[in-house]
Amino acid sequence: MIQANIIGTGSYAPDKILTNFDIEKMVDTSDEWIKTRTGISERRIAGVKEACSDLAVKASKKALKQARIKANDIDLILVATATPDMLFPSTACMVQLGIGAKNAFAYDLSAACSGFIYGLSVAEQYIKNQRYKTILLIGSEIFSRITNWNDRSTCVLFGDGAGAVVIRAEKVRKKEGILSTHLHSDGHYHDLLFVPGGGSRIPISEKMINEKKHFIKMKGNETFKIAVRFMVNAAKEAISYNGYAIEDVNLIIPHQANKRIIDAVAKKLRLPKEKVFVNLMKYGNTSAASIPLALDEAVWEKQIKKNDIILLTAFGAGFTWGSALIKWSLDS
């Protein structure tokens, strides 16, 4: 059978570190309050000359190196992002240019923090349908550009970064690689987490900017409750679909939104802390980049070994949510 296997991972975080103590000087908050409420200690901020595609290119080159393939081997480039370089062309086309992937076609996906799992599902279908063999999937975000740094309810949460994976079609005797993906959305919740301005509904104007409608708006309490429920349900769906029990999961990599959300999800799934990968204390919420960035760190920290069952679950604006179950095929 043909399976979609992850054969390389890579990530990139900008050099600039913004600590909670730095944010204390910007808004009425404290390091203790931020850590208690979010689990975040610091986050990375892109340089003034860095765009979303720049972060994506750096993560992609690392993934290609680990996969031991050349850019010209790539058939498709998918970029999951809510903060593209520009409205068009796609950020994926800029990545294609940046890595020299002359034989690939490229496009973006927009599913906010669920974007990487949505991208995994798209890549899996292309490969299992035997349409394409080698796909580069990237989650890349520069949320610092759409964050209101005077709004203490949101500015403490977000950071910039990118993560990438190379996915390849491989003939196998037993199921491995991406076992399944499960996607959901519900537009009824669109106004709980959104950026109202800058699109066709509220175009760019002096009035729009003065009203700060180009920044993230979030109703945190409502979002928290729904996020936990949807992430848990999606995780259970992936486990049940593949005939596994929660005890069979070796590691869960949830979207790195908030430590309290992650803890609540783990508790409801009855997963011990040692099976839950967390790195948001260093990066904050990097939206579509959070899972691939965390996955790459887990690989390099040797927290993932061959044949491990890896569970991914995410939740984002839309609302969108989803999960993926992977049987890891790479040697550690």
What CATH number does the domain located at 2-171 have?
3.40.47.10
Helices (H), ranges, 133-242: 152-155, 206-210, 220-241
Buried b / exposed e along 209-236 (16+ C-beta atoms within 10 A): eeeebbbbbbeeeebbebbbebbbebbb
Q: Of these residues, 52, 93, 255, 258, which one is catalytic?
A: 255
Contact 158, 86 (CB under 8 A): no
Q: Of these residues, 113, 155, 182, 258, which one is catalytic?
A: 113
Nearest CA-CA partner of 193 in 211, 216, 213, 165: 216
User: pLDDT tens, 170-229?
Assistant: 988 888 999 999 999 999 999 999 999 999 999 999 999 999 999 999 998 899 999 999
Instruction: Report d(CA 224, CA 117) in Å as an integer.
Output: 20
What is the reported pLDDT for 332? 67
- Residue 155 among the catalytic residues: no
User: Which residues of the chain have a pLDDT value below 70?
Assistant: 332
- Residue 52 among the catalytic residues: no
Q: What is the DSSP letter of 268?
A: H
Q: What is the DSSP letter of 212?
A: T
What is the reported pLDDT for 102? 97
The contacts of residue 180 (CB under 8 Å, 6+ apart) are 238, 241, 242, 324, 325
Contact 3, 176 (CB under 8 A): yes
Nearest CA-CA partner of 5 in 147, 149, 176, 160: 176
Collapsing DSSP to helix, strand or coil, 262 comes out as helix
For the stretch 125-130, contacts whose Cβ atoms lie closer than 8 Å and that sit 24 or more positions apart, written own/partner, are 126/76, 127/2, 127/3, 127/4, 127/167, 127/168, 127/169, 128/2, 128/3, 128/4, 130/2, 130/169
- Residue 255 among the catalytic residues: yes
Beta strands 309-316 and 320-327, pairing class:
antiparallel
Contact 288, 138 (CB under 8 A): no
Q: Of these residues, 5, 20, 258, 285, which one is catalytic?
A: 285
**First-last CA distance in the chain:** 24
Nearest CA-CA partner of 45 in 153, 161, 156: 161
User: pLDDT tens, 138-182?
Assistant: 999 999 999 999 999 999 999 999 999 999 999 888 889 999 999
Q: What is the DSSP letter of 137?
A: E
Quick one: 59 exposed, middle or buried, by C-beta within 10 A (0-12, 13-18, 19+)?
buried
Contact 137, 75 (CB under 8 A): no
Q: Name the β-bridge partners of 108.
A: 79
Q: What is the 3-state composition of the chain as percent helix, strand, coil, each rounded to the nearest 5?
A: 40, 25, 35
Collapsing DSSP to helix, strand or coil, 145 comes out as helix
Residue ranges of the chain assigned to CATH 3.40.47.10 = 2-171, 177-327
Instruction: Report d(CA 112, CA 186) in Å as an integer.
Output: 13
Asked if the 177-327 domain carries CATH number 3.40.640.10, the reply is no
